[in-house]
Chains A and B, each alone.
Chain A
Amino acid sequence: MSSTTSTRIDPITASVLQRRVDAIAKEMAGMLMRSSRSPIFNEIGDLVTVVFDKHGNTLAQAEFAAIIAFGAHPSLEFIINYYGDDVHEGDVIIHNDVYSGGNQNADTGIYVPVFVDAALVGWMAAKGHMADIGGMTAGGYDPNAKDIWQEALRIPPVKIVHRGVLQRDVWDFISANIRMDFVMEDIKSMIGCCTVGGRRLIEVIRRYTLETYEDHMNYILESSARQVRAEVGRWADGHYYGESWMVSDGFDTTKRYKIACEIEVKGEEITFDFSSSDDQAPGITNMPPASAKGAVRIAFLMIMAAGGINIPTNQGLFEPIKTVFREGSLLNPRFPAATVFGNQMCDEVVECIMTALSGILPDRVTAGWNKYLCTSTHGVDPRTNEAFGTLTVFQRTGPGGMLGTDGWDALGFTGTAGQMRAPDPEMFELTSPHFLEYLEYLPDSAGAGEFRGGMGTRTAWSNYGLHQHGVTLGDNVRHEGAVPAQGLFGGSDSGLNEITVTYPDGREHLWGSKEIIELPAGTRMESISGGGAGYGDPRKRPIKKVLAEVRDGVLTREKAREDYGVVIFADGVSVDQEQTAALRA
């Protein structure tokens, strides 16, 4: 960050400018959300829009899927170095490559430089998860991939618009390598929102003058950093360790991988060192550093939010945070390793950090989130004879409980931090060749605790698509011998997941956590998604709450007695006070 300050800083102007730049990022995201096509992009909101300064520092961003949120920045750093002076008004640059700053190949970015009076003043970016980006399998998720070329069309930075002129050859080249026609529509929509954002930024700069704008934006970055330093400075100095386990690399379904983090708090600085994590895997279960950084930031922001601290999400926020990812490890694989599973490993990274900090910040951390599992499927819809792709992200796991608050039921994945929309049951049937049998909370799934984990779900659906395949992308699958996420301070561990596939011929198959399978028409999936881990001694949970859950049918009388020490009569509505007191003594 540069901090050469020539004008007098007025904190009021800084505050107003921060709000303005933030509004630009949000307006861009709103446009993109409403106009984009790829389901993972707009249903899940796997997108981010960012306003950068001319050096590539994030000034403001609007995120829906947290894991992608900070992924736009490392790519821009690469782009700025790559092009040097060769950046012009009217240029549009596209990028996805994970070995030049990308977080996941499917997460493709559009970068637009903004000029005022022929001088570069900033960058606008929109990044989102494309329904397809080439590679050997539609949708890009294939656990059989062993290198980057199998996973995707690599796009190191390329100008698709040069000085305002669309490069038709580049456009057609990219288009020719992507399966779904609407992906190019999404690229149009990203360019559209960056153009509007650029226009808004120019208005702001013209109003305040470039010098005032830049000086005050630097002040804002410093201000975020100051806030973080002040907060970290209050945390006890020391070294703290946490770990989490991933099971299955897609080839060896029972292989366990350790993700471990050593956190050093020293004065006002904090370092997250993941060096002791296991070496990189042979398949897709590797996490590019851009994605790993995003995961660290999610955990950090959750811990700040739990302390009631809300900081503008700009570059300054992360300035006091150091991250170390050992080259050749799961969190910084060597070229040309496959990495499409990387974003999913956010659950492991967050669990490491929460566990590590539970000693010094017991009122801020959550117990373990049950690691997420869902499926992605592609094929042809016989009703229209058109290709379709969809995600069954109504399968929901539970977050962990925390001091004072139960985990949110059926919220799912840490990497989307509660911003991932579930397909509506009716729309799922209307827009893809599926029949959804049921979708409900899974009784007894919440990890017991004074503050229980969030509940998981039970779902079942069948398909009638043609040439359909499905792929799982997750973890914590029971038959693979998964390690549940950890309970805290006496709370129970998380549940586990399992998807049972019944083929039309009656054959059954337990779907692995990272496995691609054919789905002939008439296949039925039955899924159990476990709940999150509990926090604190379950016997301290108020009897009233336990009783209410028994009455609601989400907790059985057996579990109420066994886990919570609450004995409920057969009528399901009254408590045997005497026995309960004895059990809870």
Chain B
Amino acid sequence: MSIRIGIDVGGTFTDFLVIYPDGKRRIHKTSSVPSNPPMAVQIGLAEIATAENKTIEDFMAEVGLIVHGTTVTTNALLTRNGPTTGLLTTEGFRDVLPMRDGTREEAYDNRLEQPVPLVPRYLRQPVAGRVDYKGDVLTALKEEDVYAAAEIFKANDVESVAISFMHSHAETSHEDRAAEIIAEVLPGAYITKSSELLAQARYYPRMSTAVLNSYAGPIISSYLSTLTELLEEVHFSGILLLMQSNGGVATPGELAKRAALSLLSGPASGPTAGLLVTAAHGWDSCLTVDMGGTSFDAAVVKDNKPLIMTDGIIDRWRIALPMVDINTIGAGGGSIASVDEGGLLRVGPQSAGATPGPACYRRGGVNATVTDADVVLGYIDPDTFLHGQIGLDREASIQAIKNDVADPLGITVEEAAFGIYQMVNVNMATGVRDITVRRGLDPRDFPIVVAGGAGPVHAGAIARELEIPILLTPRDSSIFCAAGMLVCDFKHDYVQSSNQRLESLSDEYLVDTWKGMMAEGRKTLHAEGVADAAISYVPSVDLRYKGQWYEINVEVDPANLVSPNIAEFYASFHKLHDTLFGYSTLDMPIDLLNIRLTVVGTTPNDRVDLAATAAGAIPEHRRRDIYSPLQRQMVEVEVYQGAAMVPLDEIEGPAIIELGTTTIVVLDEYNTVVDKNGSFVMYLRDQKDTLKARLDLS
């Protein structure tokens, strides 16, 4: 067994989690290098080697696996720093991309600007040739059009091309031929065929996904080749895997082909990481929440799997590939509080971000923010915030809240701060509720795993909102995503559009379709070095009642891959529909929209053990005043140093646990106990016996 490293490149810091063969861990942080992202990886690895008194080459020789998540494509997309991209569309459908689904994001706001498409109209070139919905060719592909478009692309220095023709989900030959021509005229161009990326009906989502793939393609390709070179330079001969937005990992070669999967891949390992935290208690489901400076992410893991969605949006464009369903709302430490003319308090979605930041940062921000409220309420210690790297000005917080909230409402600064705290908590709780109830899940059935700098300050109150009795905060949530990456499996998703009544679906057709996908998946995984024994399949179908607009993804037993039992599909669909929408109609015909297969390759990883690292020196004992929502006043409480707490240590709220990068606020109603992983488990004291019985504190 060799060393494994998880690397999470964020906007400010790049986090490294090194796991040694004996299970010991090292956490390392280095500044990200936005101008040259692979550089941070190289620098960080060199720093780790130095810390071990080894040359980088000697250290890397011991490393067997690097799993890496990057935001390089997401950032390039958001800042529009991508390649000049061209698009081939079916003649007559040149504007499908900017028309999107025909709606705008705000109903009444006529000032809202349309999003600027990633491909301007003069590079969206129409091509004659038509396939019908069944896949029959009505008119042959007009190759002259493709050649003419390729010349236009060439003249405009197009580096990347997406090809998306009407009904290519049913017949790929036109896209295949057009791709050959483009490759011939523009050798070296990155090409996406929408039918290959996502063979499913609905023209706009498929086209938009193909365009995003071509936009991301050259960026991730060049990033990966630079990174591979850097790693080769230091004699790394292990396996490099990349995080994908579907919650699985892939080799650089595979990710470069399905580049769109790198978009939003950053937080995709978070939910899986949640399982590492709950594993200590034998739980296979949880909610993960991550609250940072500007946003709040919530996700659900159920039966060991993160929930997946296929209706993602990035930068106002549809991305229809299956992705981990992470609900992001604009609520964070920087969210701005204000009072409207009607006398109601609002918090967010405007954010002061990191600059100018909350008033207490003294970086020019004058608006009252959530962080300011946390400071006033005593939840954040101005002197030890972020290990004391940023001294906070409590007086500035008080002044901002007084001006913006307390005076306009005629209440005290303390009351106003608590109001801000409550409002942002309700907003976040609603975000969690949304992601669960729209799946027919009850949030009360899930423990919450808390991450992010501001997460543990607010999580207890959010859990109260949702009536969730148990929360877990890992000891070091900065490596949360990096740890998750190390346990993610290889994952590739396949889809084939198949529009028919379920009753007319033949076993042969279904088996053949799945067989094709299984072969494709096996081939891909073999190329990634995964042996047959480690490969498993998750088949599913997208179904809806006749006439419905939304389809529901119904997972079916893998036994169906060989001998389908379609009666089981009906039963599962009716049941799921009832869970989601409160009714089912047994005699209503069911339409099949898509056949799907997820092919999973188990990574050759041991479990990551999150057991606590040795305790540091025990800092001095302190007490401070915090606001108690239950007593509705400031109360003096004990401040515990998290680093000094060892498994089975238990404290009663109200109290504070300082973790250096964050603070756990233990509200009056809670107790907190340290589990064998070193995580802090907060539970409702009045249900002590039943809740502690669910915990594994052995």
Contacts and interface: CB of A to CB of B under 8 A. Distances in A.
Contacts of B120: 548, 552
A396 to B, nearest CB: 7
A209 to B, nearest CB: 16
B167 A426 contact: yes
A426 B201 contact: yes
A32 B334 CA distance: 34
A15 B423 contact: yes
B506 interface: no
B550 A182 contact: no
A405 interface: yes
A562 to B, nearest CB: 21
Interface string A437-460: 111110000000000000000000
A440 B93 contact: yes
A498 B418 CA distance: 59
A424 B167 CA distance: 11
Interface stretch (A99-107, A218-226, A252-260, A324-332): A218-226
B110 A426 contact: no
Find the residue from B167, B344, B415, B580 having the highest chain A CB count within 10 A.
B344
A16 interface: yes
A42 B102 contact: no
Contacts of B169: 426
B108 A402 contact: no
B418 A227 contact: no
Given A14-B344, A192-B582, A304-B108, A421 B101 contact: yes
Find the residue from A16, A27, A399, A421 having the highest chain B CB count within 10 A.
A16
Contact of A39 (B422, B547, B577): B547
Nearest to B429: A23
B101 A408 contact: no
A490 interface: no
A336 interface: no
B204 interface: yes
A440 B95 contact: yes
B109 interface: yes
Given A305-B109, A426-B201, A189 B418 contact: no
A196 B179 CA distance: 51
A66 interface: yes
A302 interface: yes
Contacts of B416: 12
B341 A552 contact: no
Contact of B581 (A31, A225, A306, A384): A31
A419 interface: yes
A430 B499 contact: yes
Contacts of A116: none
Interface string A415-432: 001111110111101100
Contacts of B316: none
Nearest to A195: B582
B698 to A, nearest CB: 37
A418 B107 contact: yes
A223 B344 contact: yes
Contacts of B113: 405
Interface string B417-436: 01100110011001001100
Contact of A11 (B409, B433, B577, B585): B409
Nearest to A438: B92
Contacts of A399: 110
Interface in B529-575: 545-550
A370 to B, nearest CB: 14
Interface string A183-205: 00100110011011000000000
A351 interface: no
Interface in B119-140: 120-122, 132-133
A311 B132 contact: no
B interface, how many residues as a size bin?
35 or more
Interface string A291-319: 00000001001101110000110001000
Nearest to A196: B582
A182 B122 CA distance: 44
A437 B122 contact: no
Interface residues of A, number: 88
B346 A15 contact: yes
A551 B120 CA distance: 10
B314 interface: no
Contacts of A224: 342
A20 B548 contact: no
B345 interface: yes
A18 B344 contact: yes
B581 A35 contact: yes
B166 interface: yes
Interface string A395-422: 0100100101100111110000111111
Contact of B132 (A193, A219, A435): A435
A411 B99 CA distance: 8
B344 A192 contact: no
Interface in B323-345: 339-345
A15 B344 contact: yes
B94 A440 contact: yes
B203 A426 contact: yes
A43 interface: yes
B35 interface: no
B323 to A, nearest CB: 18
A301 B106 CA distance: 11
B96 interface: yes
Contacts of A304: 108
B106 A418 contact: yes
Interface in B579-602: 580-583, 585, 588
B647 interface: no
A410 B341 CA distance: 35
A553 interface: yes
A166 interface: no
Contact of B107 (A63, A220, A396): A63
A185 to B, nearest CB: 6
Contacts of A11: 339, 343-345, 409, 411, 419
B342 A223 contact: yes
Nearest to A31: B581
A36 interface: yes
B580 to A, nearest CB: 7
B202 interface: yes
Given A15-B346, A422-B102, 17 more contacts: A11-B345, A11-B409, A12-B345, A35-B577, A36-B549, A63-B107, A185-B585, A189-B582, A227-B341, A386-B546, A419-B103, A420-B102, A424-B201, A426-B133, A430-B201, A438-B92, A553-B122
26 contacts: A11-B339, A11-B409, A12-B345, A15-B344, A16-B426, A19-B430, A27-B433, A31-B438, A35-B548, A43-B549, A192-B582, A224-B342, A226-B341, A226-B343, A227-B341, A302-B108, A305-B108, A305-B109, A305-B111, A396-B99, A402-B110, A418-B104, A425-B96, A426-B167, A426-B169, A548-B120
Q: Which 6 A-B pairs have the closest CB atoms?
A: A438-B92, A422-B102, A223-B342, A12-B419, A192-B582, A35-B581
Interface of B: 91-96, 98-99, 101-104, 106-114, 120-122, 132-133, 166-167, 169, 201-205, 339-346, 409, 411, 415-416, 418-419, 422-423, 426-427, 430, 433-434, 437-438, 499, 501, 545-550, 577, 580-583, 585, 588
